[in-house]
Amino acid sequence: MRTELTQAKLAAIETEVLAVLAADTQTSKAPDAKPEPVLLTADDAVKAAAAAVLSTGEYKAGANETLLLHAPAGLKAKRLLIVGLGKQAKATVDKLRNAAGAAVRFAKPRGIRELVFALPDAEVLPPGPNTRAAVEGAFVGDFDPDTYRSDRKDQSIQSFTVAASAGSDRAALEAAFAEGVIVGESQNFTRSLVNEPGNKLTPTLLGQRAALMAAEVGLGWELHSTEKLHELKMGAFWSVSQGSAEPPSLIVLRYEPEGVTGGPVLGLVGKGITFDTGGISIKPADNMEKMKYDMAGGAAMIGAMRAIALLKPRVRVIAVVCAAENMPDGKAQKPGDVQTAMSGKTIEIINTDAEGRLVLADGLTYAKQLGATHLIDAATLTGACVVALGYANAGAFSNDDAAWAKFDAALATSGEKFWRLPLGEEYADQIKSDIGDIKNTGGRWGGASTAAEFLKVFVEDTPWIHLDIAGMAWVEDSKPYIAKGPSGVGVRSILEWVRSY
């Protein structure tokens, strides 16, 4: 998708579609109060073109509600697409991001390949964040997980233009615009990885895809496998991979900005289970195919590293992705086995399906050994987190209020929804083992928190954030602004957290 920025007068823009936002200005809560949609533009010609249809009451400007007008009078554009933001008083940059995605997804199936998206005026929402969000939303909307269809017709938008008002500062707009492109493309890179089935993206191939990207954007990278796992005594990580014919991949990506020698080193650790059968504690057949997305945490870290390399924050970052396939086999680990993690802690395996925490245990230890002073991990870790928060929020945990405050602030920019859940001694007690230091499951209740407590054993006192994205990494039902399939959740928030250091 080509992207452009313009500050031309809307009426003068020649395009297939000019998309303009509308919001509902009705503030009365009376039962007979009708929506009062208004166009969010100061352009009189555009307002005039839409006046007649808006006065009918047919269109309510609900969130992502679209209305298409052909041959709009007085405009050079062939079509005028009105996209709703919902109530004007509740308009946010995040809703605008979605509206841009909705405009793109409106155009795609109709064979429209070119789109101009007009930003609202500065009084409604800030122009810089708007510009970035509009571009991000367009990339997110443009993505469809259809690469394996032999009858695939590429319906991607070829040209997406953001139209900002003439009064906005050009340099600021351009900077925000460039960020939007990098972030949107990085999120889609993550989504393309997550979409790959287990047979097309083994741990080794995930490593290769990460290395290829790293070489492109100028990140340092290393790929390791079985031998290195043994050398580092990564008994927990290795135990997951031992039941698979596919060797594990320990993926390390390094961002070392020139001239930055002191300060924090941020460690990004991702769960990269390219397929999770559950192992000997095998999962039921229903929906097992979904477990190809069990590497979404690792993919989020790889996508975030791409954006970091291109946006160049003044802080060192190391990503460690632990990729393996969790399979049942004659060589697979068994419930009751005891594994010794890289840190030296012993783990009693109760359930081989609680494998994510095992690979992360060694990944976190390794990130610390490589010098990480602050840690963040992302993983499709527990079904319990999905039970707790559904598909509306991802779970987050932290042992450090300062690190969390920065992450919380990052959410305001990213627009992603994470809800902080508790750690605590009671949960830690649930994973005490009778025969070793800890066990890998803590019983039925509080499963997201006991999993987080398990990770905390390896994090120790290092400031740390844990993101459980099990419910949010896959969009179960398509929305007007995003296709059903991989969401790329985490990329934007992790990036903003890194940039806050």
Q: Catalytic amino acids?
A: 283, 357
Under the criterion CB under 6 A, does residue 384 sit at the interface with ligand BES?
yes
Fill in the per-residue mask, 275 to 314: x = in contact with ligand BES (CB under 6 A), - = not in contact: -x-----------------x--------------------
Exposed, middle or buried by CB within 10 Å (0-12, 13-18, 19+), for 489? buried
Under the criterion CB under 5 A, does residue 356 sit at the interface with Zn ion?
yes
State which residue has the least CB distance to ligand BES: 383
Phi and psi torsions of 319, nearest 5°: -110, 135
Region label for 336, one of left (φ > 0), alpha (ψ between -120 and 50) or beta (otherwise)? left
Q: Between residue 273 and residue 292, which ones bind Mn ion under the rule CB under 5 A? A: 276
User: Of the listed pieces 46-54, 256-264, 334-342, 349-357, which binds Zn ion according to CB under 5 A?
Assistant: 349-357
CB of 187 to Mn ion, least distance (A): 25
Q: CA dihedral defined by 126, 131, 135, 141, rounded to 10 degrees?
A: 30
Q: Between residue 404 and residue 423, which ones bind Zn ion under the rule CB under 5 A? A: none
Beta carbon nearer to Mn ion, 117 or 237: 237
Q: Which does 364 bind (CB under 5 to 8 A by kind): ligand BES, Zn ion, Mn ion, none?
A: none
CB of 271 to Zn ion, least distance (A): 7
Q: How far apart, in whole angstroms, are the C-alpha atoms of residue 464 and residue 157? A: 39
- Exactly one of 43, 294, 325, 453 binds Zn ion (CB under 5 A); which one? 294
- Exactly one of 125, 354, 423, 459 binds ligand BES (CB under 6 A); which one? 354
Q: Which amino acid is at 105?
A: R
Pick from 358, 318, 2, 271: nearest CA to 161: 2
Beta carbon nearer to ligand BES, 101 or 203: 203
Under the criterion CB under 6 A, does residue 41 sit at the interface with ligand BES?
no
Beta carbon nearer to Zn ion, 76 or 283: 283
Q: Between residue 413 and residue 432, which ones bind ligand BES under the rule CB under 6 A? A: none
Under the criterion CB under 6 A, does residue 325 sit at the interface with ligand BES?
no
Given a contact cutoff of 8 angstroms between Cβ atoms, the answer to whether 450 and 385 are in contact is: no
How many residues are listed for the chain in this entry? 501
Question: What is the DSSP track for 111-176?
Answer: T--EEEEEPPPTTTS-HHHHHHHHHHHHHHHH----TT-TT------SEEEEE--TTS-HHHHHHH
Buried b / exposed e across 168-186, counting CB within 10 Å, b at 16+?
A: beeeebeebbbbbbbbbbb
Q: How far apart, in whole angstroms, are the C-alpha atoms of residue 61 and residue 16? A: 22
Beta carbon nearer to Zn ion, 324 or 491: 324
- Exactly one of 144, 355, 416, 496 binds ligand BES (CB under 6 A); which one? 355
Under the criterion CB under 5 A, does residue 325 sit at the interface with Zn ion?
no
Given a contact cutoff of 8 angstroms between Cβ atoms, the answer to whether 343 and 225 are in contact is: no
Pick from 370, 347, 382: nearest CA to 250: 370
Q: Site for Zn ion (CB under 5 A): how many residues?
A: 4
CB of 332 to Zn ion, least distance (A): 14
Using DSSP bridges, classify how beta strands 418-420 and 394-398 pair: parallel, antiparallel or unpaired. Answer: parallel
Under the criterion CB under 6 A, does residue 489 sit at the interface with ligand BES?
no
Phi and psi torsions of 474, nearest 5°: -130, 125
Question: What is the DSSP track for 331-352?
Answer: TS--TT-EEE-TTS-EEE-S-T
Phi and psi torsions of 477, nearest 5°: -125, 130
Given a contact cutoff of 8 angstroms between Cβ atoms, the answer to whether 224 and 230 are in contact is: no
Under the criterion CB under 5 A, does residue 353 sit at the interface with Mn ion?
yes
User: Of the listed pieces 139-147, 167-175, 214-222, 353-361, which binds ligand BES according to CB under 6 A?
Assistant: 353-361
Q: Within 13 Å and on the Cβ side, how many CA atoms surround 419?
A: 14
- Exactly one of 447, 480, 485, 488 binds ligand BES (CB under 6 A); which one? 447
Fill in the per-residue mask, 216 to 255: x = in contact with Zn ion (CB under 5 A), - = not in contact: ----------------------------------------
Question: Token digits for 273?
Answer: 């289970």
User: Of the listed pieces 222-230, 256-264, 267-275, 461-469, which binds Zn ion according to CB under 5 A?
Assistant: 267-275
Pick from 208, 227, 325, 234: nearest CA to 273: 325
CB of 354 to Zn ion, least distance (A): 8
Under the criterion CB under 5 A, does residue 348 sit at the interface with Mn ion?
no
CB of 310 to ligand BES, least distance (A): 29
CB of 234 to Zn ion, least distance (A): 17
In the block, residue with structure tokens 């399906």: 353
Q: Please enumerate in sequence order all residues whose Cβ is within 8 A of that of 74, keeping only pairs 6 or more positions apart, or say none.
A: 11, 45, 48, 49
Under the criterion CB under 6 A, does residue 470 sit at the interface with ligand BES?
yes
Q: H/E element holding 366?
A: helix 356-369
Q: Which does 296 bind (CB under 5 to 8 A by kind): ligand BES, Zn ion, Mn ion, none?
A: none
Q: Which amino acid is at 25?
A: T
CB of 392 to ligand BES, least distance (A): 15
Beta carbon nearer to Zn ion, 356 or 485: 356
- Exactly one of 383, 390, 422, 424 binds ligand BES (CB under 6 A); which one? 383
- Exactly one of 43, 65, 276, 416 binds Zn ion (CB under 5 A); which one? 276
Which positions touch Zn ion (CB under 5 A)? 273, 276, 294, 356
Which positions touch ligand BES (CB under 6 A)? 276, 294, 351, 353-356, 380-384, 386, 441, 447, 470
